Structure 1
Amino acid sequence: MPDNGSQPKKRSWNWKKELREWTVALGAAILISFLFQNYMYAQSQVHNISMQNTLVAGQRLIEDKWSYRFNAPLHRDIVIIKGPESPKRLVKRVVGVAGDIIDIRDGKLILNGLPVEEPYTKGMTNPGSFRLPYTVEEGSVFVMGDNREQSEDSRDLGPIALSSIEGKAVYRIWPIAKFGDIN
């Protein structure tokens, strides 16, 4: 076979190029996860007893931060609140939306003149320090914890601005035995 001077070329490993590619890929992954965590879905932890028996301290939740950008919270939604109303990050249930008239009589929540059936609550519903009846204003919601006797909520803090609602609790991921939708 004639030798025409061509030999198979050895590919040289360019470690600088590979390092750059790995750095770009890792940076993109971190950026995407940061955006996902901050603007779409996040993990939250329950830190107090105000939502017993629905949620208890130590449970971990998946929080939907996306849907309230398009739709307002609905009655019975469990929301995560982070705003000027409280120095703490709160997990509460929406009991009143814009236009609703909230009252409490005989230990029961009264919504627009009718008693609300709330099988998820624990304890008596007392009015707290907030003046009732109250009409929920546009741009806000009225929230309460399910553990009505041990909850700092709208009965003390007043209405919660929609801008203070960080997201909606949608799934419980810990403990494993309780994994699934939140009722």
Structure 2
Amino acid sequence: MKDKKKLIKEINSWIFSILGGFLIAVLINSKVFAKVQVQQSSMENTLFTNQQLIVDKLSYNFKKPKRGDIIIFLEDGKKGTILDDALSTIDSIVSIFSNNKDYSEESKRLVKRVIGAPGDEVDIKDGYVYVNDEKLQEAYAKGETFTREFKLPVKVGENELFVLGDNRMVSMDSRKFGLINFKQVEGKAIFRVYPFNEIGEIK
């Protein structure tokens, strides 16, 4: 009898753990907010590898990304449907119990800064970025900015964005893969939650 009660107690404990993990995953990967981890050095010195960010996934349903926003987007696809979010939630639950940080959609996400919005003309000359023929004053940028494969200048089209990483010498961004579509954008990085000594708003 005692063994049976012990078994039931252990099963209940597992059920509560699973439900708790599910609720955590839903809260941090909802349609409103998500938590992502920086996995590259392309945004130094604004963001660093392994920092964890809260992403506002709701605001861009009502307004468009603007120049200077730090956004999270999918490199090779569009943001998900409700079904995609449900599958992502399941992945998050598995990640919680397996402690496998790579077993998630995070590996497909990129973090970059919006430099050109629809209607802007973007160019890069002599190590500097120009938008609508005006040189940007970029205190956040690390290193000089040089062109790559994507041909410039470029006029940013409707529902498109030109993005760059703040660490210009290493970042793979619109200089490589060109303009991105609004449909790729998951949200705006708004708050740093880890490490704890660097908690705060992202600018």
Normalised TM-score (structure 1) = 0.80
Deviation at 1:77, TM superposition (A): 0.3
Residue of structure 1 in register with 2:130 after alignment: 110
Quick check: 1:85–1:157 contact (8 Å CA) kept in 2? no
Q: 3-state DSSP class of the match of 2:48? A: coil
Structure with the bigger percentage of helix: 2
Structure 1: tracts of 5 or more residues without a match: 1-22
Deviation at 1:37, TM superposition (A): 2.2
Q: CA deviation at 1:177?
A: 1.3
Gaps of 5+ in 2: 1-14, 79-106
Tell which structure's C-alpha radius of gyration is larger. 1
Structure 1 letter corresponding to 2:125: R
The amino acid across from 2:47 in the alignment is L
* Matched-pair contact (CA < 8 Å) for 2:156–2:162: yes
Measured in 2, the distance between the counterparts of 1:161 and 1:143 equals 11
Whether contact under 8 Å (2:75, 2:110) holds in the other structure is no
* Matched-pair contact (CA < 8 Å) for 1:85–1:160: no
Counterpart of 1:179, as a letter, is I
Q: How many residues align?
A: 159
The residue number in structure 1 matching 2:44 is: 52
The Cα of 1:34 is off from its aligned counterpart by 2.4
Contact 1:83 1:165 in 2 (8 A): no
1:65–1:166 contact (8 Å) kept in structure 2: yes
Secondary structure of 1:91 counterpart: strand
Matched, 1:171 2:191: yes
Matched, 1:39 2:70: no
Contact conserved, 2:27 with 2:33, CA < 8 A, in 1?
A: no
Deviations 1:17-72 (A, max 9, x none): xxxxxx9xx97x95796277230001110000000000000100000000011110
| Large movers: runs of 4+ above 3 Å | 29-33, 85-88
